[in-house]
Amino acid sequence: MPAPTDPAARRAYELDRAHVFHSWSAQGALDPMVVTRAEGSYVWDGDGRRYLDFSSQLVNTNIGHQHPKVVAAIKAQADVLCTIGPPYANTARSEAARLIAERAPEGLNKVFFTNAGAEAVENAVRMARLHTGRQKVLSTYRSYHGATTTAINLTGDPRRWPNEFGNAGFVHFFGPFLYRSPFHATTEAEECARALEHLEQVITFEGPGTIAAIILETVPGTAGIMPPPPGYLAGVRELCDRHGIVYIADEVMAGFGRTGTWFAVDHYDVTPDLITFAKGVNSGYVPLGGVIISDAIAATFDERVFPGGLTYSGHPLACAAAVATIEAMTEERIVEHAAELGERVIGPRLREMAERHPVIGDVRGLGVFWALDLVVDRETKEPLAPYGGSSPAIAELMGAAKKAGLLLFNNYHRIHVVPPCTISEAELEEGLAILDEVLSLADAHTTVGAVV
């Protein structure tokens, strides 16, 4: 993209290049788009061009941009109390905790607030270790749990590789993923059974008495949006119960409406011991995350001190935003809307595109949480970009989408369709039409070649 011509936007761009150090990037080659405003499903760049946001930023604006009730709640809170330390009680924090606990599975009634997802993971692991008196934590290879030291070591995705500085106690295993089955399974039932057998063996060989927790994204997100087969999470719950292991469900991305239910575990009828959340809880209008805690684990700390805390735990502006977000999502039936869009529009439309575009190897998802697995060859399932890498074909597709006014989320060889839960059907169709068009560019990079 050329630098903006509008003087204020151009200054933002130049100052960014001079002074801002960006996440997950080689700093030299960056060319960030200047965003000056946003509303609903759209954002505007420095020269006034409008883009449909099919990425929900980093899959966090579940309620869309600038929802008026949430903006008003932040302003109202700012007028009376902008900050208060963790030892005090405060209406915004208490009400946010109540609304979250009321939507969580039964038996999880307390909330520890953090500023974001990685800190939630850090504290869930700390709670599990203190509760069990054990050290090891098991997680899947196809996962992302955040970028702090513990969270990145638990992450299985290649972003872990340059970040392993020698911390002990993190063990990875294979979760179920039928499309690229690590177990050579051909049916969901087979994948489920073999994945559970594999996990049981990992537990046996690691030593059940050394394992504090298993952490699982209920529906793994950045690693590929892979809804688990029926019965898998119930099997994990049973293994955890049998061995006294804490089951942590990481719902930082999948929670708060993204999958068409308040929490993704609602689809699978399981109750974890701890749930981590962030993103959708207030759509990221003010940073907020946390851990929802089972009564049994919370009771561990009735007499014993919980040795952890954050200056901004339960920040009033963030909690006021959470209260307004959850209330608006409830009143406006936004979670139901997300479920309906996934079932009636997104799933069918993406599957129909897969029939026409040889580059689409697999379509997976639910709610407003979908992935296209792009391949060079459908038979071999060779990914369009290498694991952990990028490809010119993907860069071309992403660039063309942006030029046509569509922001997409891409990870390695996948395109994720993750718009706000509030997106209208007309907006969705507008974005899907652009996606359909730019997928033709990627088709040209398959063994079959372009199909018109």
Decide whether 117 or 235 has the Cβ nearer to ligand PMP. 117
First to last CA, the chain: 28
Count the residues of the shown chain that bind ligand PMP, applying the rule CB under 6 A: 16
Decide whether 58 or 345 has the Cβ nearer to ligand PMP. 58
Q: What's the half-sphere exposure (Cβ side, CA atoms, 13 Å) at 213? A: 28
- The closest alpha carbon to 252, from 297, 232, 282, belongs to 282
Q: Which member of 46, 64, 175, 221 binds ligand PMP (CB under 6 A)?
A: 221
Binding mask 108-147 for ligand PMP (x = CB under 6 A): --------xxx--x----------------------xxx-
Binding mask 141-180 for ligand PMP (x = CB under 6 A): ---xxx----------------------------------
Smallest gap from Cβ 23 to ligand PMP, in A, equals 9
Footprint of ligand PMP on residues 284-313 (CB under 6 A)?
A: 289
Residues 6+ apart with CB under 8 A from 129: 135, 137, 212, 213
For residues 141 and 155, what is the distance between their CA atoms, to the nearest angstrom?
A: 7
Collapsed DSSP state (helix, strand, coil) of residue 435: helix
Token output for 419: 């718009």
Question: Phi and psi at residue 303, in whole multiples of 5°?
Answer: -100, -35
What residues does 111 pair with on adjacent strands? 292
The alpha-helical segments, DSSP class H, found in 46-187 are 56-59, 68-80, 91-103, 117-132, 149-154
Footprint of ligand PMP on residues 353-392 (CB under 6 A)?
A: none
Decide whether 159 or 180 has the Cβ nearer to ligand PMP. 159
Confirm if 300 and 130 have CB atoms less than 8 A apart. Answer: yes
Token output for 210: 């050394």
Decide whether 101 or 147 has the Cβ nearer to ligand PMP. 147
Footprint of ligand PMP on residues 244-283 (CB under 6 A)?
A: 250, 252-253, 278
Decide whether 157 or 373 has the Cβ nearer to ligand PMP. 157
Distances (CA, A) of 368 to 256, 331, 394: 11, 19, 22
Which residue of this chain has its Cβ atom nearest to ligand PMP in the complex?
117
Footprint of ligand PMP on residues 389-448 (CB under 6 A)?
A: none
Smallest gap from Cβ 119 to ligand PMP, in A, equals 7
What residues does 53 pair with on adjacent strands? 407
Binding mask 31-70 for ligand PMP (x = CB under 6 A): ---------------------------x------------
Decide whether 145 or 315 has the Cβ nearer to ligand PMP. 145
User: Which residues in 139-154 are b (16+ Cβ under 10 Å) and which e?
Assistant: bbbbbbbbbbebbbbb
Distance of CA 228 to the CA centre of its chain: 15
Smallest gap from Cβ 120 to ligand PMP, in A, equals 7
Q: Which member of 217, 273, 427, 443 binds ligand PMP (CB under 6 A)?
A: 217
**Dmax over Cα atoms in the chain, in whole Å?**
69
Smallest gap from Cβ 122 to ligand PMP, in A, equals 9
Smallest gap from Cβ 379 to ligand PMP, in A, equals 32
Smallest gap from Cβ 287 to ligand PMP, in A, equals 8
Smallest gap from Cβ 266 to ligand PMP, in A, equals 17
Rounded to 10°, the helix 316-331/68-80 angle is 150
Residues 6+ apart with CB under 8 A from 299: none
Smallest gap from Cβ 217 to ligand PMP, in A, equals 5
Smallest gap from Cβ 318 to ligand PMP, in A, equals 12
Decide whether 57 or 446 has the Cβ nearer to ligand PMP. 57
Residues of this chain that bind ligand PMP (CB under 6 A) = 58, 116-118, 121, 144-146, 217, 221-222, 250, 252-253, 278, 289
